[in-house]
Amino acid sequence: MYPAVDTQIERTLYDQDVRYTEGRRQVVAALSAADGPRSAGELVAELAAPLPLSSIYRTLAVLAAAGVVVPHYSTKGLTRYELAEWLTGHHHHLVCAECGTVEDVEIPDAFERELRALVSGIGEHAGFSPTSHALEIEGRCEGCS
């Protein structure tokens, strides 16, 4: 985990009067160590010390409200979370159609710029105001192919 990220989160939470407790640090550490979004259930297994599911859900809700983590809705009704892009950098997702795992991927800057331009252009469509975009690439991961 990058100490810089931890410091940024510490400050963000402090500014919002949200406590950065031990349990919340654990969850952040696990998300930071992951190479993609994680569900509450997946996190219990990856935490240094296992926390009750309800605490993980509450922690994720708090961190999401604070803008530190972002939810992604995936297969089987699972909600997976990852650190927000202002902490980890902008990226997209490789979604395995077989096993449902999600992996982060970055795309070339030049293309990213075009994508951004296109997305803001969409704003004209039906009065929609875009705030962000996400490209999901579906396919088969290494393990499932």
Say whether residue 118 binds its own copies (CB under 8 A). Answer: yes
Say whether residue 64 binds its own copies (CB under 8 A). Answer: no
Q: Pick from 64, 70, 52, 67: which is nearest to 134 by CA?
A: 70
CB of 18 to its own copies, least distance (A): 21
CB of 123 to DNA, least distance (A): 30
Give the Å distances, CA to CA, from 43 to 35, 39, 48, 70: 12, 6, 10, 15
> What phi and psi values does residue 70 have, to the nearest 5 degrees?
-130, 135
HEC per residue, 38-85? EEHHHHHHHCCCCCCHHHHHHHHHHHHHCCCEEEEEEHHHEEEEEECH
Residues 100-129 that bind DNA (CB under 7 A): none
DSSP state of 36: S
Say whether residue 133 binds its own copies (CB under 8 A). Answer: yes
- Which of 8, 32, 79, 88: binder of DNA (CB under 7 A)? 79
Q: β-strand 38-39 against 78-83: which pairing, if any?
A: antiparallel
- Which of 33, 53, 97, 99: binder of DNA (CB under 7 A)? 53
The one segment of 33-41, 96-104, 107-115, 131-139 that binds DNA by CB under 7 A:
33-41
Say whether residue 19 binds DNA (CB under 7 A). Answer: yes
> What phi and psi values does residue 100 have, to the nearest 5 degrees?
85, -5
The one segment of 48-56, 83-91, 95-103, 131-139 that binds DNA by CB under 7 A:
48-56
The residues that touch its own copies, with contacts defined as CB under 8 A, are 73-75, 77-79, 94, 96-97, 103, 105, 107-108, 111, 114-115, 118-119, 122-123, 125-142, 145
